[in-house]
Amino acid sequence: MAATQKEIVDGLAEIVNEIAGIPVEDVQLDKSFTDDLDVDSLSMVEVVVAAEERFDVKIPDDDVKNLKTVGDATQYILDHQA
């Protein structure tokens, strides 16, 4: 069953918490991975791989650069999840 928006944001929050140590409640739709959440380019790759696994979705490298905010990633997963 496809994940809801809330489930995706909660899942991304757990992933970002694990990788960057940011409190889960700080991971909100409007937050930028780089500017707000301490996720640099290498860690973004980790976030993407973890999200792929969790939400059963493929996120090609070319699409990763468009995922600036948690909202961008959430929408991408909503649109592409199996």
Residue 21 makes contact with other proteins by CB under 8 A: yes
CA distance 44 to 74: 14
Phi, psi angle pair for 39, to nearest 5°: -100, 105
Q: Is 24 in the site for other proteins (CB under 8 A)?
A: no
Q: Which CB sits closer to other proteins, 1 or 82?
A: 82
Helix count and strand count (H, E) for the chain: 5, 0
If one asks whether residue 20 binds other proteins (CB under 8 A), the answer comes out as yes
Per CB under 8 A, the list member of 24, 34, 36, 45 interacting with other proteins is 45
Q: Is 23 in the site for other proteins (CB under 8 A)?
A: no
For the record, the structure tokens of 40 come out as 């640099």
